[in-house]
Structure 1
Amino acid sequence: MQPTTVTLARPESRTIPYRWATPGQHAQAVLWVTQQLHTHFPTLSVAEFTQAFHAFQPDLWEDCNDLWLDYADLVRLTQRLAHSPLVPDLDPPIYCADAHYLADVLDYYHRVAIELKTEMKAGAQLPVRRLESFIEQLAIGNSVVERVRRETRSQAVAHDPQAAADFGD
């Protein structure tokens, strides 16, 4: 997930529990959420974002200039929306080129592993070169995977330092 502009909590910011926020603050937060997630859910209207926001009831963050959601709450709201009946199945689904590439790579690895497993179960002599080649491909790694992990790690850690633990830091 790539929010357009997520404001980090600053020393002068304060948390407003959902139940204590005014209707105007709720409306401002819904507009902020809509701006952050519109590219992820292009078919949702502001009314549907409002419905999801009020069902989730996140705390708000405020300073003298802005009102926003904590990054972790924004991620949880995104996950709820993604599994919500409000979001229709897109035909075709929207995936970036990296997602398509990684799906192809995983599908290739899956097919090779199934073929090798079938040969092992049949008691056939394992093609050592093929197995070594497969293991070598896995051991080398993948530059797209590394870039995606690096970019998602930097985004998550920038917005939620606790997220570093999720990436093994």
Structure 2
Amino acid sequence: MQPTTITHACPESHTIPYRWATPGQHAQAVLWVAEHLHDHFPTLSVTDFAQAFHAFQPDLWEDGNDLWLDYADLARLTQRLAHSPLVPELDPPVYCADVRYLAGVLHYFHLVAVELRAEMQAGAPLNTLHLDSLIDRLAIGNSVVERVRRETRSQAVAHDPQAAADFGD
């Protein structure tokens, strides 16, 4: 693989294609990868990192003192590892703040809907405080939802052309 991006390398650094690197250079690169990705994949051993590294076969960068991977190659290796069977399902799974927030919003809507259903079954008029609150909350929209939809639109459309209709295209 030829380098396609500018690295953080110093001017005297050069690339070593995977196939030309020595076993010692491969081992040094695997240790560098394991050190840089350990926080992302704490359950993986150095052997697991080595397996992923050798399957990916990235070019190495060297400046005489250190050996490392190009940032773009490190990012691609990280993505491959994330989808690899080497990475076990986390228990409990780790969710970002946006996911927790959106789960809270959906839980709120669920609770209001349950209360509305009970009121409607009891014969209450449809113009209730719960219904007004739900409609107001839905009508306002949600900036997190809009941002997540905007940021994931291209991924969704790339995987499913029908998804363009879901995004209003």
Partner-residue secondary structure (3-state), 1:15: strand
3-state SS, counterpart of residue 61 of structure 1: strand
Instruction: Give, in angstroms, the shift of residue 54 of structure 1.
Output: 0.2
The 2-side partners of 1:104 and 1:30 are apart by 35
- Quick one: percent identity of the two aligned structures? 60
- SS of 2:61's equivalent in the other structure is strand
Name the CA distance, whole Å, in 2 between partners of 1:11 and 1:110.
52
Q: Which has the larger radius of gyration?
A: 2
**Partner SS for 2:73:** helix
**Paired position in structure 2 for 1:24:** 24
Q: 1:108 to 1:54 in 2, by over 3 A?
A: same
In structure 2, stretches of 5+ residues that fail to align are 1-6, 114-125, 152-169
Larger RCO: Structure 1 or Structure 2 (Cα < 8 Å, ≥ 6 residues apart)?
1
Show the 5 A alignment for 1:96-107: 99=96, 101-107=97-103
Deviation at 1:40, TM superposition (A): 1.5
Partners of 1:31 and 1:52 lie apart in 2 by 12
Report the count of equivalent residues: 125
1:66 offset after TM fit, Å? 1.1
Aligned counterpart, 1:92: 92
In structure 2, what is the equivalent of residue 15 of structure 1? 15
Q: When the two structures are superposed, what TM-score results if normalisation uses the length of structure 1? A: 0.60
Unpaired segments ≥5 residues, structure 1: 1-6, 117-123, 150-169
| Corresponding residue SS for 2:10 | coil
The alignment's TM-score, normalised by the length of structure 2, stands at 0.60
